[in-house]
Amino acid sequence: MKQKVYLFSEGNKNMKNLLGGKGANLAEMTNLGLPIPQGFIITTEACNDFLHKNLILTEDLKLEIKNNIFKLEKITGKIFGGTNPLLVSVRSGAPISMPGMMDTILNLGLNDDTVEILSIKINSSFAFSIYSRFIEMFSDIVKNIPREKFACIEEELKKKNIDKDNFYRELTKEYKNLYKITLNEDFPQDPEDQLFQCIIAIFNSWNNNRAKIYRKLNDIDENMGTAVNIQEMVFGNLNNNSGTGVAFTRNPATGENDIFGEYLINAQGEDIVAGIRTPLPISHMKETMPSIYEEFLAYGKQLENHYKEMQDIEFTIENGKLFILQTRNGKRSPYAGIKMAVAMVKENLISKEEAIMRINPKDITILLHGSFSQESLNKEMPLGKGLAGSAGIAVGKIVLRSEDVVDPDSILVRTETSPEDLSGMSIANGILTAKGGLTSHGAVVARSMGKCCVAGCPTLTINLETNKIKIGNMSLKEGEYISIDGYSGNIYKGKLKIDLSDEIEEFYEILNWSKSIKKLSVRMNADTPEDCQRGLRYFAEGVGLCRTEHMFFKTNRIWPMREMIVSDTLEERKSSLEKLKPYQKNDFIEIFKILKEKPVNIRLLDPPLHEFLPTTPEELQKLSKLMKISMAELKYRLQKLEEHNPMLGHRGCRLAVTYPEIYLMQCEAIIEAALEVKKLNINPNIEIMIPLVATFKEFQFIKNKIEENLMNLYPNIKDINYKIGTMIELPRTCLIANKLSKEADFFSFGTNDLTQTTFGISRDDSGKFIEEYKEHHILEKSPFESVDIEGVGELMKIAVDSTRKENPNFKIGICGEQGGDPKTIEYCHNLNLNYVSCSGFRIPIAILAAAQSNIKK
């Protein structure tokens, strides 16, 4: 028969699955020789047996427990229910920490007899206070008698002014009475009986609702089960030579290598948590209990060196003797995390690889953007919740119209954003929208600007007549302050306090190490010279996606673009294109100057044309005047451009089949810009990317048109280093990738559209149901955040494998939004892609994730 109960000395830290996290660490520390109150652990397997077999403790298990009580009696020299009574704590401990999920029972082993013995040995007040506490905990956790009832009894009793010596004795009597009245039975007096009941309660608590929900939310295996730790009691509340505390071996907020923590004299652990008495900083111990302080410091170092991680340690001092009750890797701020990781490398405690693996890529975002202080989050209830559109936080005055955003102290609040809103978005501190998903215009642009955005808040309505907004039931006027959280999607009234970590040296150290370790290139999605400059600051290795259409959104450029779209004849269209060409050319000159020899991937016009069209009556008027056509004619032409499903409509390279002159103009602008910077001795590395290709002939047709035109116009085109490739953003394209690779120079996965088509889900419309999908755990994450490996990833794999089989060096990258997501980056690394590309602010994350992927592999 398999062993179901382990003495601390029989385990070690690698037995977490069997002994739980707490138990394994207690065992490890025992073997390290630390002063640990001894005990034993009932395994998770015993828990699972119990849960699967009738919910009773088997006689075998009971016997094994009894044997271990006997062993513990030998170790401690005390006897369970005896004259030198052994008291124990009973605690749950799952392999994965499930905070607050399962409860603790202290002082077990007390009964009407042992309490009297302790009364004599120590004093009556202490003995009955811990007995009454035990009764209260047992009644609550094992018997479900509400704690409030006990609190009431205590309050009433306090009014009676009973002297200290008798108070707890009286209280114990009344508690036992409550127990008897409620359950119609006496409080159990046999310590073994007490223990078995506790164990059953803890086993059962694995299946309480809170625990189930927590596991579901955190994707924890239902069959893991919890261990139970039975440990000798030590008392920090015995006298003034006793106490209890918690400490971190380093500062978890700043990362400083200095012990950090607090303690209370004459108290138990719960007293620190309760916060009734103010604890003292641990440094104070140095003066009052210098030898214990030194002893504790030494144990702290020993543990940190042993675990090679900052430790979060609980300790108790019983009558001048130090006990360690628990140790675990400590939680830290993102800032401290980076500081510590780098410091530990320099202390030769860990390797660079280990340091890199310890940084959560998400923390980088928080580091770069700051976060709301925990304090103010504790105070404020969110008014509503949208999607976490773009990381960061923002505080500002509500502004409802883009043109009214005059300073950064604003949050632009719109139903949906459009290219018209770009100027306002670029000034405002953050963006809040009522409609649109994670890849709506607002969210995409905000991410590319590194600006906080909460998108698609379903309870938000905007009234442009009264200049008020409503979030849920709360009505707010334009000009009032709100705070938005781009990590959680929460929206708050007023100004929340922000914790900001400045950029730190160690951040760049980690990035540099990561750069040298990673294999994947990391490029930026950058549409303007400004974007490019920002991305280079974060070590981008080139441009992975320059969306040429974004160059048209600036005010002076949108009008010829609109003219072009509404043109009815080739001549009209060509004349508008001629107006646009100088803008494009100049932008490319600037970009090439910034990027120098680094690759620049330029995507030719992609979105459906109607995205550029005006919507307000004033703008329509303006366009009709500009084009010298009647409003009726204009409206007729606009109507013709309408589509049922624009995402699947007349866009991407389909525009180039029907209106080849558009791509020809764009390519002319690119090559002319390249010829221009050649004069400055810059030799740009150009990748021209044709979007939305579905068939081989389609790509060939367009490529031929482009090359023919370029050859005709520029006799010295051979001096220019340019390639023509395609974006893979349709399932069909993945299937014919090998064939396409004979004609294309490179591929880049456009995983936004690839996800839309593979799943058949429109990003912009998914908001209506995707939350319910998550709620029912049909989807754990939006596939627009992290690449859906089973579907989209499989298609990518088909494309990569079939292409590389014949052409192992074919260049393939990814430029979808997911290119900045660590899980996606890992997948891309394993697929052997050449690069990932993401918006500038996510580049440090991508570099870190790329390094982690390589280390993991």
Q: Which of 222, 258, 294, 643 binds its own copies (CB under 8 A)?
A: 643
Cα angle value 323/329/334 (rounded, 5°): 135
The footprint of its own copies on residues 657-696 (CB under 8 A) is 657-658, 692, 694-695
Residue 729 labelled as part of a binding site: yes
Q: How far apart are CA 46 and CA 228, in angstroms?
A: 9
**Is 537 assigned a ligand-binding role in the annotation?**
no
Binding flag, residue 789, its own copies (CB under 8 A): no
Residue 637 sits in the site that holds its own copies (CB under 8 A): no
Closer CB to its own copies, 496 or 690, in the complex? 690
- The single residue among 423, 459, 762, 830 that binds its own copies, judged by CB under 8 A, is 762
Q: Which is nearer to its own copies, 155 or 219 (CB)?
A: 219
Establish if 777 lies at the interface with its own copies (CB under 8 A). Answer: yes
* 743 is a contact residue toward its own copies (CB under 8 A): no
Choice from 26, 101, 482, 792 touching its own copies (CB under 8 A)? 792
Under rule CB under 8 A, residue 756 binds its own copies: yes
How near is the Cβ of 789 to its own copies at its closest, in Å?
11
Min dist. Cβ of residue 764 to its own copies (A): 4
Q: Mark the segment that binds its own copies (CB under 8 A) among 49-57, 373-381, 560-568, 730-738.
A: 730-738
Check: CB of residue 685 under 8 Å from CB of residue 523. no
Helix (H, G, I), strand (E, B) or coil at 109: coil
Q: What is the C-alpha to C-alpha distance for residues 327 and 309, in angstroms, rounded to an integer?
A: 11
Stretch in the footprint of its own copies (CB under 8 A) among 137-145, 160-168, 706-714, 788-796: 788-796
DSSP summary character for residue 676: H
Give the three-state DSSP class for 40.
Answer: strand
Q: How far apart are CA 284 and CA 324, in angstroms?
A: 19
Question: Which range, of 15-23, 171-179, 217-225, 761-769, touches its own copies by CB under 8 A?
Answer: 761-769
CB of 475 to its own copies, least distance (A): 18
Exposure pattern of 364-389 as b/e (b: 16+ CB <10 Å)? bbbbbbbbbeeebbeebebbbbbbbb
Q: What's the CA gap between 854 and 513, in Å, rounded?
A: 12
Helix ranges (H only) for 184-317 are 191-205, 209-217, 269-274, 285-288, 290-307
Return d(Cα 752, Cα 766) in angstroms, integer.
13
Are the C-beta atoms of residues 600 and 592 closer than 8 Å to each other? yes
Is 603 known as a binding-site position? yes
Distance from the first to the final alpha carbon of the chain = 39
Can residue 644 be called a binding residue for its own copies (CB under 8 A)?
yes
- Using CB under 8 A as the binding criterion, the count of chain residues that bind its own copies stands at 48
Residue 624 and residue 630: Cα distance in Å, rounded? Answer: 6
**Shortest separation between residue 696's beta carbon and its own copies, angstroms:** 9
Distance, CA of 761 to CA of 763 (rounded, Å): 6
User: Residue 42 gets which letter from DSSP?
Assistant: E
Q: Which of 202, 839, 274 is closest to 545 using CA atoms?
A: 839
Shortest Å, Cβ 423 to its own copies = 24
Residue 750 marked in a binding site: yes
Is residue 630 near its own copies by the rule CB under 8 A? no
Q: Which of 179-187, 206-214, 504-512, 776-784 is the region at the interface with its own copies (rule: CB under 8 A)?
A: 776-784
CA angle 191/196/201 to nearest 5° reads 125
How far apart are CB 448 and its own copies at their closest, in Å? 20
The reply to whether 100 sits in an annotated binding site is no
φ, ψ for residue 726, nearest 5 deg: -140, 155
Q: Catalytic annotation on 667? A: no
- Choose one: 21-29, 265-273, 556-564, 726-734; the region binding its own copies (CB under 8 A): 726-734
Minimum Å gap between C-beta 218 and its own copies is 18
What 3-state DSSP class applies to 137? Answer: helix
**Cβ-based nearer residue to its own copies, 351 or 461:** 461
Q: CB of 304 within 8 A of CB of 311?
A: yes
Contact stretch for its own copies (CB under 8 A) within 281-289, 390-398, 756-764, 826-834: 756-764
The reply to whether 815 belongs to the active site is yes
Catalytic residue among 452, 815, 828, 838: 815
Q: How far is CA 250 from CA 168, 310, 743, in A?
A: 40, 6, 58
With respect to its own copies, which residue has the nearer C-beta, 420 or 541? Answer: 420
| 465 lies in the binding site for its own copies (CB under 8 A) | no
Say whether residue 193 binds its own copies (CB under 8 A): no
User: Between 232 and 788, whose beta carbon lies closer to its own copies?
Assistant: 788
* CA distance linking residue 441 with residue 549, whole number of Å: 13
How far apart (Å, rounded) are the C-alpha atoms in residues 756 and 349?
46
User: DSSP 3-state assignment of 651?
Assistant: coil
Show Cβ contacts of residue 760 under 8 Å, excluding neighbours closer than 6 positions.
Answer: none
Q: How far is the CB of 431 from its own copies (least distance, A)?
A: 19
Minimal distance in Å, beta carbon 247 to its own copies? 45
Q: Does 729 bind its own copies (CB under 8 A)?
A: yes
Neighbours of 840 (CB within 10 A): 24
Rule CB under 8 A: choose which of 253, 280, 675, 735 binds its own copies: 735
- Binding to its own copies (CB under 8 A) within 585-604 occurs at none
> CA separation (Å) from 416 to 319, 399, 608?
66, 14, 18
In the complex, least distance from residue 661 CB atom to its own copies, rounded to whole angstroms: 14
Residue 157, judged by CB atoms within 10 A of its CB (0-12, 13-18, 19+), counts as middle
Give the one residue of 549, 672, 764, 785 binding its own copies; rule: CB under 8 A.
Answer: 764
Single out the catalytic residue among 441, 734, 828, 829.
441
Region of 459 (left: φ > 0; alpha: ψ -120 to 50; beta: rest) is alpha
Among the residue ranges 498-506, 550-558, 616-624, 774-782, the one whose residues contact its own copies (CB under 8 A):
774-782
Binding site for its own copies (CB under 8 A): 643-650, 654, 657-658, 692, 694-695, 697-698, 701, 729-732, 735-736, 753, 756-762, 764-766, 768-769, 772-773, 776-779, 788, 790-792, 794-795
Pick out the residues of the known binding site.
547, 603, 729, 750-753
> What residues are annotated to the active site?
441, 815
